[in-house]
Amino acid sequence: MQLQQANKTFHNLFLSVGAMKAGTTWLYAVLARHPQLHFALEKEIHYFYHRYVNSGQLNEAQRKQAVAQRYLKRINPEQSNIDSVRHNLHWICNYLDRPVDDFWYRNLFLMRDHEKYACDFSNLNAHLPQEAWPQISSKCDTLRVLYTMRDPIKRLWSHAKFHLQVTNQLDVLDTWGPRDFDKFVRQNHIWMNAEYGKVLRNLKGGLEPDMLKVIFYEDIHADQRGMLRQIEEFLDVPPFNYPQAIMDRRFTESVKVDMPDFFPGLFTDDIRRINGEIEAQGFAIPDNWTAV
């Protein structure tokens, strides 16, 4: 009699690595309703970025701060179900455990029951080197990676506004000129999300074709249920009837401020290059992207 083969370290893993401000929070909120998809307490764990790019990403100080500022605040003594509190505290203990290694990451999904996939929507994972992906996939029974792109000019403007909003600097939107915006947007933590071509090269170079799906933000909202069905087919999970109320919601929206007329012109040469790199990887630029 043959013994059943043990699951690999990460078993079945679904990673969404879409660019920041490209619809990944909406996808997370909707797909979290699917009964075959298990999400940890944290949407963005950033473990693989910690493992392959920046070993300080999940240092003890940052994890303690996250627990104090986000996770513990989810516990409402008057309304929270006691089993939910126990569940959350168990997850928090695993999150604060050490060392931060593959088994640490796997243990963040220990509360998974019948769901097919452990799911992690960490946008920083888009910036892993190509050589990281075969190492990750070798530790998975099934690996599926979803990458989302958005009109680069609109994404840059949304990202800039959002960052200024969360850092309480919105007042500069009334005073900044072209040089100020150019300098701000070209900071690495913002600009690296615009380098779609580089991300695509690393993903396609490091993953087998059936492991990767690339979609556009604009296509998501042109046909939400159609795109969700495509993702379900990519994951080989049955279709689910997502509540319309959650699909109609918008998440992490930045303050509504019109883009200055000069803003697109700051990045014309960059966007032409990036669009060319996208096409070189076999993808057609959506017709409704900003013309450059």
pLDDT band at 126 (very low <50, low <70, confident <90, very high): very high
pLDDT digits (tens, 9 = 90+) for 28-38: 999 999 999 99
pLDDT digits (tens, 9 = 90+) for 194-247: 999 999 999 999 999 999 999 999 999 899 999 999 999 999 999 999 999 999
- What pLDDT is stored for residue 291 in this prediction? 84
- Report CA-CA distances (Å) from 38 to 72, 84, 121, 156, 179: 20, 15, 11, 31, 44
In degrees and rounded to multiples of 5, residue 148 shows phi and psi of -115, 130
For residue 145, list its beta bridge partners: 15, 212
What is d(CA 119, CA 65) in angstroms, rounded to the nearest whole number? 23
Q: At what angle do helices 178-185 and 152-166 cross, to 10 degrees?
A: 90
Pick the closest to residue 125 from 43, 69, 234, 7 (CA basis): 43
Pick the closest to residue 20 from 178, 131, 119, 163 (CA basis): 163
What is d(CA 157, CA 175) in angstroms, rounded to the nearest whole number? 16
The answer to whether residue 256 scores a pLDDT higher than 90 is: no
The answer to whether residue 52 scores a pLDDT higher than 90 is: yes
Pick the closest to residue 138 from 237, 211, 74 (CA basis): 211
Instruction: Tell me the H-state helices in the chain.
Output: 24-31, 47-52, 60-66, 82-95, 102-107, 132-137, 152-166, 178-185, 188-191, 196-206, 217-222, 224-235, 244-247, 268-280
pLDDT digits (tens, 9 = 90+) for 266-292: 999 999 999 999 999 999 999 999 987
pTM of the model: 0.94
- Report CA-CA distances (Å) from 237 to 9, 105, 151, 161, 228: 21, 23, 29, 36, 11
What is d(CA 29, CA 24) in angstroms, rounded to the nearest whole number? 9
